[in-house]
Structure 1
Amino acid sequence: MTTTPQTALTAMLGKAANDAGLLVIATEAGLDFNQKPTTRFRLGLPDDSGRTLLLELSEAFDFDKPELLPAMTTHLQEAAKRLRNPHPDAYVTVAGLPVSLDSFAWPFHRSTSGADTFIVHGTVHLANGQNSPLHAKVSASMTLTFAEIVPAAEQPYAETFIYNAIRKTLDYGQLELLKSGNRQPVPVTTRYYSRWQKKFFFTDTDDDTRMEFLALKAFWLSGVLGNSAPVWISDPRDAQYLNTTAEELQRMAGELEKQGLLQLHADYASGTPALMARATEYEAKLMKALEYTKPTFNEEMRAGHTNM
């Protein structure tokens, strides 16, 4: 990346990143979907691990306001925690898919099709440690009604719920991972949000589901992708996806440690040999989840038995 001249935004972001324990490795001038200027920040940790995350903001964006600064601060603090994961852009789904998410073109832009929605484009990859070519180009759409609850149409204020909506859409079998293909829709509507409780709802889970999720996360992200390096086990992004709290995830991780499946390192965890021995089970779960995302042809329609 080339370094852009110092601006009010780069100065603000540099200070906020430093306060969160991050370094701005580099900055670069960019353009959004409508060719308006953005600034792209490559963020890393002081330990020079080589792992980075990208933050892209509208060039004129001013987050140093009471209604915007807290969420930016939280986003950067959580980014610092994820950067200690072996693969900071990797996640798992409840259905059992390990995925990585990248190439998102922030901020949102208005739909060009005439629909009253805001759009952000990105890519989801199957992350099973085998350099799989399977991926999905996604077009996540946020309705105007939903946009009213989002403080700003910028990455730090939307990335978590967009990523979780993508995971939920995969769980529904409504995103197909392919070797190539057109963009697939990921609708983000008010069904994912309670105005009364002021919180997101994606997946109703119980303790068993959460423990299985954490075991899957440790298996794929630590064991398979990370060469057994620990991963952040109580990520609030996962907590939102599972409709729980980071504290509950930490408690569930403790239960898995008692079962001999996880080794805890504060709020990070790695899989034990007993967990990695479940490889056949988790690979079968992955294949089943992949199969579920494939569209099926209605055989009755093929035979002409239809009232359409």
Structure 2
Amino acid sequence: MSKKMSFIDAHLPEVARPYAHLAQLDKPIGSWLLAWPAFWSVVIVADSSVSLPEIMKLLDMFGWWAILTRGAGCTINDFFDRDFDKKVERTKSRPLASGALSPAQGLWWLGVQLVLGLGVLLQMNTLTFFLGFIHVPLVFAYPLMKRLTYWPQAFLGVMISWGAFMGSTALTGSINHSVVHPLYVSSFFWTLVYDTIYAHQDKEDDAKAGVKSTALRFGDLTKQWLSAFGIATILALALSGYNANIRWPYYIFLAIAAGQLIWQIWTVNLSLPADCGRKFVSNQWFGAIIFAGVIFAKLFA
């Protein structure tokens, strides 16, 4: 069966295709995972004094921020891993590994995405811009963690959950600590769930190359660890909602989200890379369920 052509190859000019593939624009799951904590934060701290157009504008800006920041993260990750990626079946066709782009072209594209991302942040208040600016070194450091620790997924959780702080500051000019800190913690543990599942796709190649991950760290106990992380995720989301005085519809959606986590953790075949990939992608729906829960709780309760 032939591989389905992505929209990049079907619609973009040939000269632009390697850059779009380097930013993984045809795989939006990474952008969703970066955006959801910011989206949650915006809607959970919003009150009746905030207009719908203001909320929609912030969601739009955080959407673009997530696309550009994630693209920059993919670019620097592939720059550092270009020699390793050549040896892995799933990644050997990436632009820097395959030679479709040179390292210098990759760095040029990285700069373009960073400038555009900072341009989005400049439209927000000073505190949010500052948080976004100090987030960039975390994005750069993440690809190196897999060389240093068996817990690179934990560092990813620190980095990818950053929007939980930024959503609050963009809307109110400050961090609502009692609401936002549990929200950040929930995203951190959620990241440990989905990225450990993701890491199981490459565990054999990673072990041969000396690359570390929680998939290798946990081994046969992975599902027990993921279950503990999933419980922590749901409890932290419940605490955030409680501190925000979110009404009862939120908890119905939270129960649905818990069911989604249970489904992916206990049905994933950790020895089958394709199934790990499918379960990883399904987390876009977990994020959407929590977001919808906040919206319904504020509109219909």
Task: Give TM-score scaled by structure 2 length.
Answer: 0.28
Higher strand share: 1
Higher helix share: 2
Name the structure, 1 or 2, with higher relative contact order (CA <8 Å, separation 6+).
2
Task: Give TM-score scaled by structure 1 length.
Answer: 0.27
Q: Which has the larger radius of gyration?
A: 1
